[in-house]
Amino acid sequence: MLLALIKISVTLMSSYDKEALKKFRLSGKILRKVREEIKKFVQEDMLMIDVCEKAEKLIRENGGKPAFPCNVSINEIAAHYTSPPNDNKRIPKKSLVKVDIGVHLDGYVTDTAVTICFNPEYRSLAETAKQALKTAIDNIRPEMSTSSLGAIIEKTIKSRGFKPISNLTGHQVGKYLVHAGTSIPNVSQLSFSKVKLGAVYALEPFVTLPDAVGRVENGEEATIFRFLRSKSTKDVYAKQLLKYIEENFRTLPFAERWLRGVVPPEYHKKAFQELLVCKAIMSYPIFVEISRKPVAQAEHTVLIVEDGCEVLT
């Protein structure tokens, strides 16, 4: 998750010391275990908040911290939905469910996603996302241009009769950064950036039906947030909330659910709203496929080594 529609130019360190690599690997190992458990856990009609909270609890029980809220995105929603507080939405019958989760260990982020398919009609769509990811993993090499990697992903998807989402990309990850540095496109595009030896990337093809537009737009809802800047607010509870956010999540995304009990419940809503209005925090709207066609996704985080990559998740 946390795919930027606009590229952020941040120069990231592209090689890490032994300690950092150890943390990346352990972060990925925790995430892999949680993903496999959550795949078996998700069922039709289940409350979405139960999926989010189960995934986040498993991450903590295994010694990690969520790098961002667990995303549960249904059908035409490609990404960025997490349950708001007291969410009563359920996993619809016959739906295509993307569960996207992240772990950080002292800031070292890994990111993975899986599509759970409750509709036999979309099985091959979900399978194509997995195949596109596998092809990307098999082909990624140091010094490869990101545009040729995008072309390989696009070709795999189109050869199976489907369409990539062209404005969602994979991304480099870093310390306390889910999305920064280089983007990894899912289509061939003009770009001069290259895959770097020692860097860590999340690869994540998104696939939709051939008659879809194949792009996402921002939806109405936003349930994921991030700290932007310290601001002095008149509201004492807004101030308290912001302090908690800054100390606990730093530059990583968070859910409003995670703020339960920080300020008295009767003052929470107003304080939270004030932080949004004064731009101390920002929100990430959900991404919806423009023609409202179902979207499948598969994602792994990889470390670039001499002869290819090591899958961390």
Given the residues 80, 104, 179, 300, the one annotated as active site: 179
- Residue 307 backbone phi and psi in degrees, to 5: -105, 20
Least distance (Å) from Mn ion to the CB of residue 256? 19
Shortest CA distance to 195 belongs to which of 171, 219, 179? 171
Nearer to Mn ion, 205 or 214 (CB): 205
Given the residues 56, 76, 87, 111, the one annotated as active site: 111
Nearer to Mn ion, 97 or 241 (CB): 97
**Residue pointed to by tokens 């195949």:** 131
Considering the rule CB under 5 A, would residue 1 count as an interface residue with Mn ion? yes
Contacting Mn ion (CB under 5 A), which of 76, 100, 274, 289?
A: 100
Considering only the stretches 28-36, 195-203, 215-223, 305-313, report the one whose residues sit in contact with Mn ion under the rule CB under 5 A.
195-203
Q: What whole-number distance in Å separates Cα of residue 73 and Cα of residue 295?
A: 9
Residue 274: active-site member = no
Q: Which pair of structure tokens corresponds to residue 184?
A: 């990894």
Report how many residues bind Mn ion under the rule CB under 5 A. 6
Q: What whole-number distance in Å separates Cα of residue 286 and Cα of residue 22?
A: 33
Considering the rule CB under 5 A, would residue 111 count as an interface residue with Mn ion? yes
Considering only the stretches 16-24, 46-54, 99-107, 302-310, report the one whose residues sit in contact with Mn ion under the rule CB under 5 A.
99-107
113: left (phi over 0), alpha (psi -120 to 50) or beta: beta
Contacting Mn ion (CB under 5 A), which of 20, 58, 77, 113?
A: 113
Nearer to Mn ion, 56 or 299 (CB): 299
Considering only the stretches 83-91, 197-205, 253-261, 266-274, report the one whose residues sit in contact with Mn ion under the rule CB under 5 A.
197-205
Residue 307: active-site member = no
Least distance (Å) from Mn ion to the CB of residue 124? 22
Q: What whole-number distance in Å separates Cα of residue 202 and Cα of residue 140?
A: 12
Residue 299: active-site member = yes
Nearer to Mn ion, 113 or 295 (CB): 113
**Max Cα–Cα distance, the chain, nearest Å:** 58
Considering only the stretches 7-15, 52-60, 96-104, 137-145, report the one whose residues sit in contact with Mn ion under the rule CB under 5 A.
96-104
Contacting Mn ion (CB under 5 A), which of 31, 77, 78, 202?
A: 202
| Secondary structure (DSSP) of 23-80 | HHHHHHHHHHHHHHHHHHH--TT-BHHHHHHHHHHHHHHTT-EEEEEEEEEETTEEE-
Q: How many CB atoms lie within 10 A of CB 52?
A: 26
Q: What whole-number distance in Å separates Cα of residue 100 and Cα of residue 82?
A: 10
Given the residues 87, 154, 204, 274, the one annotated as active site: 204
Residue 17: active-site member = no
Considering only the stretches 9-17, 196-204, 222-230, 272-280, report the one whose residues sit in contact with Mn ion under the rule CB under 5 A.
196-204
Shortest CA distance to 202 belongs to which of 140, 267, 128? 140
Residue 248 Cα to chain centre, angstroms: 19
Considering the rule CB under 5 A, would residue 96 count as an interface residue with Mn ion? no
Nearer to Mn ion, 78 or 280 (CB): 78
Side-chain half-sphere exposure of 166, counting CA atoms within 13 A: 14
Interface residue list for Mn ion (CB under 5 A)? 1, 100, 111, 113, 202, 299
Q: Which residues are catalytic?
A: 100, 111, 171, 179, 204, 299
